Amino acid sequence: MNTKAMVRNNALDLIKIIALVTMVFDHLRFVFPSFQVQLMTVGRWAFPFFAIAIAYNTFTAIDRNKDETLKKYLVNLGAFSLISEIPYRLMTNNTQTTFNVMPTLLLGFIYIVLIGKIKATWLKVVITLIFPVLLLPIENKLEYGLFGVLLIGSIYGIAANKNESIQILFFIVSVCLALAANLQYYYPIIKVLGLFSVYTTPLIISITLAMIFGFVAMTRNIITMDIPKVGKWAYWFYPVHMLIIFFILKI
């Protein structure tokens, strides 16, 4: 394995660890509702970083023709979409109108696999445009909605292109999508207080910083320290930590 690949893996494992930790912060708002704004400001790093992990892992598998790896990703994301739903409902006291985040990651994965595996340019363009349209009927049931699926697609664009100008273009699109994925839930507040308020400004700053960090980490090879490997246990971490939070709430 060359040095560049090792550094890239280190960066990706760091991204995954930060995603898991910040996800816990995000979900602790159910335990400490009075600190909801602060916890969500930190916690909303999680989804963009999971999107980065999905996009870069998928690109690597496609680039190296590892179809078995892609099948494992599909099975794991599909299985944990189902496994995680009951813990998600328990943790949120069934107050959420969306599924858990796994179906969004699963659909984003399918989206970029189709884009990455199809060779004909015209068909690639058709899939890029049509796939999101097909998701519109269930868009309101997806956590982070269609913006979340498209975010995975735009980050894949960064991973799949070595031209720096194209990477920067996809990065700008990714920042906009990451912000839209979160701010769509603040529409009533934005309608009254405007885009920048005490509720939204910290979130906008936090998500933008997260995207900048993720972009630099994955494209500039700055992570040289050894990072613990994040394996399949991370899938189990998602439903298990939600069950733990549920039991804490019941104490």
Within 8 A by CB and 6+ apart from 240, the residues are: 87
For 115-155, the pLDDT digits (tens) are: 999 989 999 999 999 999 999 999 999 999 999 999 999 99
For 49-99, the pLDDT digits (tens) are: 999 999 999 999 999 999 999 999 999 999 999 999 999 999 999 999 999
Within 8 A by CB and 6+ apart from 11, the residues are: 217, 218, 221, 222, 223, 227
CB-based burial, 195-205: b 16+ in 10 Å, e otherwise: eeeeebebbbe
Q: For tokens 């207080």, what's the residue? A: 193
Closest CA to 174 of 196, 144, 153, 205: 153
In terms of residues, how long is the chain? 251
For 20-58, the pLDDT digits (tens) are: 999 999 999 999 999 999 999 999 999 999 999 999 999
3-state secondary structure of 232: coil
Verdict on whether the full-model pTM lies above 0.85: yes
Domains of the chain by residue range = 10-220+232-249
